[in-house]
Amino acid sequence: MRHIFEKGGDLHAPTLVLFHGTGGTEHDLLPLATLVSPKSPILSLRGDVLENGMPRFFKRISEGVFDEEDLVFRTKEVNEFLNQSAKEYGFDRDNLVAIGYSNGANIIASLLFHYQNVFRGAILHHPMIPLRGIQLPDLSDVTIFIGAGKNDPICSPRETAELQSLLRDSGAVVRVHWENNGHQLIYNEAKAAAIWFREKFQNQPDHEQEGGQYNE
């Protein structure tokens, strides 16, 4: 897969694995990674699927309707790529935190749905439920941040709540951060994710947010 790897300044910090949204590239979320954990190693991926020339991580039939067969295939492909990259670049495979937006958040969710211990944590900006009717692995060692919009036309608050329940029922600790916006990723949401990361992975206490609400 086309990607960027940056070694980072702290080899003990979690490696951030970045997944862009539809039409994005491996460069899109680098500023977000810097906001979340400036010294972390970074592995940023570009999706292999093209939809009208726009990179994605898996095919879809229409907006909000996934090609489930391709999703399962691409999920396996990404998991294998992470295993290979850990060997190639020497980062700790058991110390990964994924960050994704929209389509990128959906492929992360699919990885969590299919593989135990694929990530220590995940920041999902405006994700959907990747698949229904499957048994999730034990996620009791995983902590997850979901950024959601109360007026998101693509990912409804009901779907966000259902995804939160599915992840929690499998043992994950899940925090949902709500904004009054739509599907776009705004700064307050990104900042809330960065504060969550410091609390969970750098043992720094949480602070009151500017805007938005937490539900954990």
Active site residue 94: no
Distance, in Å, from the CA atom of 2 to the CA atom of 85, rounded to the nearest integer, reads 12
The pair phi, psi for residue 45, each rounded to 5°, is -105, 150
Query: Residue with structure tokens 């940023």?
Result: 44
Comparing CA positions, the residue from 141, 105, 111 lying closest to residue 124 is 105
Q: Which of 70, 92, 183, 206 is catalytic?
A: 183
Burial of 125 (0-12, 13-18, 19+ CB in 10 A): buried
Active site residue 183: yes
Distance, in Å, from the CA atom of 162 to the CA atom of 4, rounded to the nearest integer, reads 33
Q: Which of 102, 114, 170, 177 is catalytic?
A: 102
Comparing CA positions, the residue from 103, 105, 76, 77 lying closest to residue 17 is 105
Distance, in Å, from the CA atom of 59 to the CA atom of 136, rounded to the nearest integer, reads 22
Q: At what angle do helices 103-114 and 68-89 cross, to 10 degrees?
A: 80
Q: Which of 20, 114, 126, 152 is catalytic?
A: 152
Active-site residue set: 102, 152, 183
